[in-house]
């Protein structure tokens, strides 16, 4: 077959053989968020580029290297959404949602786009589940968000996860910390990668998060932000830990978790999988970002949230052998011997579907024999055959495809009642 083209690199088709897994996971995500009071929001796939320049940070790898940016026909610069939080914040401010009362709790499942090297579980188009709480500065809000992530993973059956937390303090804390980092990394300037050499002048905190192996070795001995926390930030972190302990949530402090942008404050956290030999992030974007709304043009408003990549999550579930319920089987296949019977079959199938039963009929003009084979192929639970004899007697035989048991069904007014009783047993 000579195809015109194939799917673009870094994208994937989610086929029917796998889409039910996505439906299962997404349904649990949204229902779990609902139990915590989160309401769904949907934002556009693209935004004005300046939103991400300001909101994500113009010195981040996302903005500098990974965004899909283009000019529309009017010459305006637009960007495909690289993450969900900033777009949600823009919508909150544009529509005045903070005026409806706080806390404002929002959740979403959204496609995101980043130009990076495709890897297992990482695509250029990917889907992100996120939750955001606006207007709550209390450490209880941080703990609640972490509780939500914890219970979500439990409902999905995921095991071997560890929660790692840290505090990156407030802008005042970080001013002293940045000075200590700069002094430390200056001693190792020659060994830093070129990207981190540039970061040393602009934002040395971002060096702590570098993925370069040589830089990571240097970072091991770097100063830790929790040693520079002011009294208020130290108390906030202590309270978060107390809430987690009271809720029986295990955690460990990882002082190397940082967020390099100024609007991130205090609590940051990650869920890490230990299912394989690699340290794999399952939830790597959790934390408080009290400065973001003000950065985008709104009033100073505390906020906290997290994001989870759905592709990675499903891969992890598969690697752990977690059973995802199979999609609904066909309840009944109505086979037909002629065109008159097919007309009646469509009506009967419609009647059953209106009562939420999964009914199939032949729509490709197969022979009766081939229809019976097809009913077996799709694993239909019951088979009903309609033909001239059945219409003359106003009765038809319905067969249980597994047991072979047969039932006589009247084709008059009590068809639905009798069929529903059999299918529901």
- The band of 191, judged by pLDDT with boundaries at 50, 70 and 90, is confident
CB count within 10 Å of CB 30 equals: 15
Q: What are the pLDDT digits (tens) for 218-241?
A: 888 889 999 999 999 999 999 999
Checking if the pLDDT of 277 tops 60, the result is no
Checking if the pLDDT of 278 tops 80, the result is no
Mean pLDDT, residues 78-97 taken together? 96
Average pLDDT of the chain, as a whole number: 91
Cβ-proximal residues to 317 (8 Å cutoff; 6+ apart), any chain: 21, 25, 156, 157, 158, 324
Give pTM, 2 decimals: 0.89
Ranges for all domains in the chain classified under CATH 3.40.50.800: 332-424
Rg (CA), the chain: 28
Q: What does the pLDDT read at residue 339?
A: 86
Q: Is the domain covering 16-170+230-319 a CATH 3.40.50.300 domain?
A: no
Q: What are the pLDDT digits (tens) for 193-204?
A: 888 888 888 888
Per-position DSSP letters for 53-86, written without gaps between them = IIIIITTSHIIIII--EEE-TTS-EEEE-S-SHH
Apex CA 271: angle with CA 32 and CA 168, to 5°?
A: 110
Judge contact between 251 and 271, C-beta under 8 A: no
Q: What are the pLDDT digits (tens) for 121-164?
A: 789 999 999 999 999 999 999 999 999 999 999 999 999 999 99
Mean pLDDT, residues 334-347 taken together? 91
Mean pLDDT, residues 67-80 taken together? 95
Rounded to 5 degrees, φ, ψ at 103 are -75, 150
* Tokens encoding 49: 């580029």
Class of domain 332-424: alpha beta
Ranges for all domains in the chain classified under CATH 3.30.930.10: 16-170+230-319
CB count within 10 Å of CB 39 equals: 12
Rounded to 5 degrees, φ, ψ at 80 are -65, 135
Q: What does the pLDDT read at residue 1?
A: 75
Question: Which residues lie across from 109 on neighbouring strands?
Answer: 129
């Amino acid at each position: 077959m000579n195809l015109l083209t194939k799917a673009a690199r870094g994208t994937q088709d989610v086929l029917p053989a796998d889409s039910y897994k996505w439906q299962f996971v997404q349904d649990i995500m949204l229902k779990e968020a609902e139990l915590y009071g989160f309401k769904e929001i949907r934002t556009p796939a693209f935004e004005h580029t300046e939103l991400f320049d300001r909101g994500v940070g113009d010195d981040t790898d996302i903005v500098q290297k990974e965004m899909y940016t283009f000019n529309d026909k009017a010459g305006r610069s637009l960007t495909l959404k690289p993450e969900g939080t900033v777009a949600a914040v823009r919508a909150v401010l544009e529509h005045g949602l903070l005026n409806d009362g706080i806390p404002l709790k929002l959740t979403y499942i959204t496609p995101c786009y980043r130009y990076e090297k495709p890897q297992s579980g990482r695509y250029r188009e990917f889907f992100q589940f996120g939750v955001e709480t606006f207007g709550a500065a209390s450490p209880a809000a941080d703990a609640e968000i972490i509780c939500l992530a914890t219970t979500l993973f439990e409902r999905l059956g995921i095991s071997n996860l560890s929660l790692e937390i840290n505090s990156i303090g407030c802008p005042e804390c970080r001013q002293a910390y940045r000075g200590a980092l700069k002094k430390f990394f200056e001693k190792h300037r020659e060994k830093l990668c070129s990207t981190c050499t540039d970061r040393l002048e602009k934002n040395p905190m971002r060096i702590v998060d570098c993925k370069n192996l040589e830089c990571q070795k240097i970072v091991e001995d770097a100063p830790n932000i929790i040693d520079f926390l002011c009294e208020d930030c130290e108390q906030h972190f202590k309270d978060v830990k107390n809430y987690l302990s009271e809720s029986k949530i295990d955690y460990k402090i990882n002082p190397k978790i940082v967020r390099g942008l100024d609007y991130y404050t205090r609590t940051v956290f990650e869920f890490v999988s230990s299912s394989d030999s690699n340290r794999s992030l399952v939830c790597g974007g959790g934390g408080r970002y009290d400065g973001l709304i003000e950065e985008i043009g709104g009033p100073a408003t505390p906020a906290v949230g997290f994001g989870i990549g759905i592709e990675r999550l499903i891969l992890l579930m598969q690697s752990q052998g977690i059973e995802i319920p199979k999609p609904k089987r066909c309840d009944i296949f109505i086979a037909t011997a002629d065109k008159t019977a097919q007309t009646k079959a469509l009506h009967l199938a419609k009647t059953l579907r209106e009562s939420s039963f999964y009914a199939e009929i032949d729509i490709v003009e197969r022979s009766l024999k081939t229809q019976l084979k097809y009913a077996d192929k799709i694993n239909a639970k019951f088979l009903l055959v309609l033909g001239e004899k059945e219409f003359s007697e106003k009765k038809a035989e319905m067969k249980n495809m597994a047991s072979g048991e047969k039932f006589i069904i009247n084709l008059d007014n009590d068809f639905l009642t009798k069929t529903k009783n059999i299918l529901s047993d």
